[in-house]
Structure 1
Amino acid sequence: MPLVRIDVVEGRRSAEQLRLLADTVQEVLLDVFAAPPRDRYQVLTEHRPGQLICEDTGLGIERTDDLVVLQVFQQGRSDEQKRALYAGLCQRLGEATGLAPGDLVVSVVGNTRADWSFGLGRAQFLDGDL
């Protein structure tokens, strides 16, 4: 049940392009993490130019204002699955949206079943609802 934050620079993409970006991220999660189809939790935030700062960490990666930063909160995925996620996102976002490989930054954040509430003030995993 990944929760994905998608951060982009404001004004660089139309509403349709933003939806395609989010849809493509979801498709990759379904393929690589085997997430259930209706487990879609995405927060898309546009930042004013200059408010999304990502250096190259000394790796010589070229970045533009088309930058996309993804944070994927999830549980129980292996290092192999995470590597497949990074590669799949880079490839599929490039194909679907034209995103350059250097303009994608991904961080996978681990958590546990106790870290989720899907509403109603309850811990559905802990309560046995899921």
Structure 2
Amino acid sequence: MPFIRVSMVEGKSKKYKEKLAEGIYQSLRETFDVPKKDKFIVIHEHSKDNFFYGENYLDLKKTDDLVILQVFANNTRTIEMKQSLYQSITKKLGLQLALDKENLLIGIVEVGKENWSFGNGVAQYI
């Protein structure tokens, strides 16, 4: 059950955000063995005054089109699965949104299965 937080500068259309979420979800399904209906994505929009980034960190050019993804997931995925996820999201968002591959930052935060409750005060995974 990955939970995705997306941060970006405000101003993109509803259609853009829908395609963004769907591209991320499809990549998760294809590379992370995420089951159908397991879709939890929150998009946070920030004014330019509240969105700071290194414009040329690691010699990668960033602009105000930067999309930052934070993926919270169980600590069960292999390095190969993570690399496949990075590649899949980058490719899909490049094709669907013309998002430059240098303007996508993805970080994975791994947690144990006991750290999730989907409701009713129960840790369903343990």
> How do 1:81-100 residues align onto structure 2 when only pairs under 5 Å count?
81-100=81-100
Question: What secondary structure does 1:44 align onto?
Answer: strand
| CA RMSD of superposed structures (Å) | 1.2
What amino acid maps onto 2:73 in structure 1? Q
What amino acid maps onto 2:4 in structure 1? V
User: 2: distance between equivalents of 1:31 and 1:125?
Assistant: 21
Moved more, 94-103 or 43-52: 43-52
Q: What residue ranges of structure 1 are gaps of 5+ in the alignment?
A: none
* Post-superposition offset of 1:56: 5.3
* Post-superposition offset of 1:121: 1.7
Question: What secondary structure does 1:39 align onto?
Answer: coil
> How do 1:1-130 residues align onto structure 2 when only pairs under 5 Å count?
1-11=1-11, 13-55=12-54, 58-75=57-74, 76-126=76-126
User: 1: distance between equivalents of 2:71 and 2:98?
Assistant: 21
Q: What residue ranges of structure 2 are gaps of 5+ in the alignment?
A: none
* Post-superposition offset of 1:125: 1.5
Question: What secondary structure does 1:50 align onto?
Answer: helix
Q: Taking structure 1 as the reference length, what is the TM-score of the superposition?
A: 0.91
Number of residue pairs matched by the alignment: 125
User: 2: distance between equivalents of 1:74 and 1:57?
Assistant: 28
Name segments (4+ residues, structure 1) moved above 4 Å.
none
Identity %: 34
Q: Taking structure 2 as the reference length, what is the TM-score of the superposition?
A: 0.94
